[in-house]
Structure 1
Amino acid sequence: MAKSDDQYAADLTILGMSEINQYYQQLTQEQINAGTHRDMVGGMWEEIGRLQFEFLRARGLKPSHRLLDIGCGSLRGGIHAIEYLEAGNYYGLDINPSLIEAGRHEIRLAGLTHKNPHLAVSDRFELGLFREKFDYLLALSLFTHLFANHIIRCLAEVREVLAPEGRFFATFFLAPHSVHLAPIVHEPGGVKTEYDRDPFHYSADEIRAMAKLVNLSAEIIGDWNHPRAQQMVMFLS
């Protein structure tokens, strides 16, 4: 069952996870009002937000489609999708309740509350809690921070909520071959990834193998002009 914002914040305090990864940091309302969340999700707020939205449009996203944004954060890209989609067709899920609250703040700033977006907090990729099938799903800058078992869990949940002709797009840092133990510096951006430390890299074969485990197929799209060299992958049922 998905946890309430208060329950999850309490868990984070007990586990001390905010000391391990900045993404778990719980923002105060004052920080949200000051826009701290825009830097917390990696910066390049407008550039990457617009890039991911235009990518989805180029891949066929229509206002009538339902979109699930996994790891939506504070809606860097989601705010563009909410404006574009018909009311009620945007769904966002994130592990960090304070970023979800920051997303609600962005919705109010943009005057988009009438679009009735659906936002929820979950630490286990509980995509079924929305009780919908989705035409498009997106996970931007999410799998780049996850071990393979977490990615596989997410893919298994995606399979259950993917519409018959649905598409799931996710970004990865790509390695030239499987079990690439040496660090890789990706250009542009200069991000250094490792095999067993966040941020992670995976080979095309490793990504396809993860998809196959849950009866999905994976197509490596590759470069899509991401400023930090994250590569795009499409998953289909």
Structure 2
Amino acid sequence: MFDYDSELARHHERLLEALGLRPGDRVLDIGCGTGRTTRDAARAASPGTALGIDLSEPMVARARLQAEAEGLGNVDFVQGDAQSHAFPPEYFTLAVSRFGTMFFGDPVTAFANIGRALRPGARFVQLVWQAADHQEWHTAIRAALSPGPASSASAPAGEDPFALADPQVVTEALTGAGLTAVDVVDVHEPVCYGPDAERALAAVLQLRMAREWIGDLDAVSAERALDRLRVALDAHDTGAGVWFDSRAWLVVARRG
């Protein structure tokens, strides 16, 4: 399982700063993955609570095990779709998502469902990727594994990590869902794929995009692509990890 917590460590710090968690908060974590953000929120909000939701049962299972190992009794996880899950109405004081909202098939419907779960005045804070050409991790890996011209076809709904890259698109989706006071702030932080190039290679090959690009190649072309990827990872090995530049949007909205 890919280690998103290590990849997104710098972004995670920025997100926690923006949350401004307070004791007694009731936090909803959308697309929680293995639950790092949910658990950190639970600690900061105690004696409040945190609930994480994610489509992936393996990730939710790992999140539960980690919370138990850390002795957190005020955190819970549910496997489900935040777009349609029946959250308790007007219950949560804060909603958060660390790169988990770009994959909704219908963002307006999803944001409206999340909004109904928030108390009036509560914030919804999310990180989403900016455009693909602002992501060195995407452009460098793609250049290595799929060096031909980029396809002009759009990714199917629910599969595009850059679906909310346009601030106007995410703003319109949030306001269309009834949320207000939308604020979009640039976040410029690198991502890390491992402590060294060898382990970064193993990590990258767990990514869906990498598997799909290699899967389109014959055996000889695939080996050449892997050689190019090794060169790219070596070039980004700082001696303190393999880092690639990236840009995200920190998006904040409120339940009216």
TM-score category of the 2 structures, normalised to the smaller one? 0.5 to 0.7
Higher relative CO (CA 8 A, sep ≥ 6), structure 1 or 2? 2
Per-residue CA deviation, residues 119-141 of structure 1 (Å, 9 max, x unaligned), is: 11113534433455111101211
Identity of aligned residues (%): 21
TM-score (norm 1): 0.66
Contact conserved, 1:172 with 1:231, CA < 8 A, in 2? Answer: yes
Segments of 5+ residues of structure 1 without an aligned counterpart are 1-35, 176-183
Cα offset, 1:164, TM superposition? 0.9
Find runs of 4+ consecutive structure 1 residues off by over 6 angstroms.
none
**SS of match in other structure, 1:143:** coil
Aligned-partner residue type, residue 161 of structure 2: P
Letter in 2 for 1:153: T
Computing the radius of gyration over CA atoms, which structure comes out larger, 1 or 2? 2
User: SS of the residue aligned with 2:60?
Assistant: helix
Q: Does the CA contact (< 8 Å) of 2:30 and 2:82 recur in 1?
A: no
Preserved CA contact (<8 Å) 1:221 1:232: yes
User: How many residue pairs end up in the alignment?
Assistant: 184
Pick aligned residue for 2:175 from 202, 206, 212: 212
Q: Tell me the SS of whatever aligns to 1:128.
A: coil
* SS of the residue 1:153 aligns to: helix
Deviation per residue, 1:59-109 (Å, 9 max, x gap): xx2011111001111112222112222245111111111111101121123
CA root-mean-square deviation:
2.7
Q: Counterparts in 2 of 1:88-127, with a 5 A limit?
A: 89-112=49-72, 115-127=73-85
Q: Are the aligned partners of 1:72 and 1:93 in contact in 2 as well (CA < 8 Å)?
A: yes
Paired with 2:100 and 2:25, the residues of 1 have a C-alpha distance of 22
Name the SS of the counterpart of 2:36 in structure 1.
Answer: coil
SS in 2 for 1:106: helix
Aligned mates of 1:110, 1:122 — CA distance in 2: 23
- Asked whether the equivalents of residues 186 and 247 of structure 2 are also in contact (C-alpha less than 8 Å), the reply is yes
Match of 1:199 among 144, 147, 161: 161
Contact conserved, 2:24 with 2:48, CA < 8 A, in 1?
A: no
Q: Distance in 1 between matches of 2:174 and 2:80?
A: 22
Residue 247 of structure 2 aligns to a residue in which SS? coil
CA contact (8 A) 1:49 1:80 kept: no
State the Cα deviation string for residues 137-168 of structure 1 (Å, max 9, x = none).
01211233x25x42222111022112111000
Structural mapping, 1:140-155, within 5 Å: 140-144=98-102, 146=103, 149-155=105-111
Distance 1:118 1:141 in 2: 20
Task: Please tell me whether the aligned partners of residues 218 and 233 of structure 1 are also in contact (alpha carbons under 8 angstroms).
Answer: no
SS at match of 1:123: coil
2:4 to 30, 34, 41: 41
TM-score after normalising by structure 2 = 0.62
For 1:128 and 1:224, how far apart are their aligned partners in 2? 32
Q: In the alignment, residue 135 of structure 1 is paired with which amino acid?
A: T
Look up the match of 2:45: 85
Aligned partners of 1:88, 1:65: CA distance in 2, in Å?
A: 5
CA deviation string 1:199-218 (max 9, x = no partner): 22432222222123222235
Aligned partners of 1:65 and 1:136 also within 8 Å: yes
Contact 1:94-1:100 at 8 Å conserved across structures: yes
| Correspondence for 2:116 among 151, 156, 160 | 160
- Uncovered stretches (5+) of structure 2, i.e. residues with no partner: 140-149, 191-245
Query: Partner of 1:15 in structure 2?
Result: none
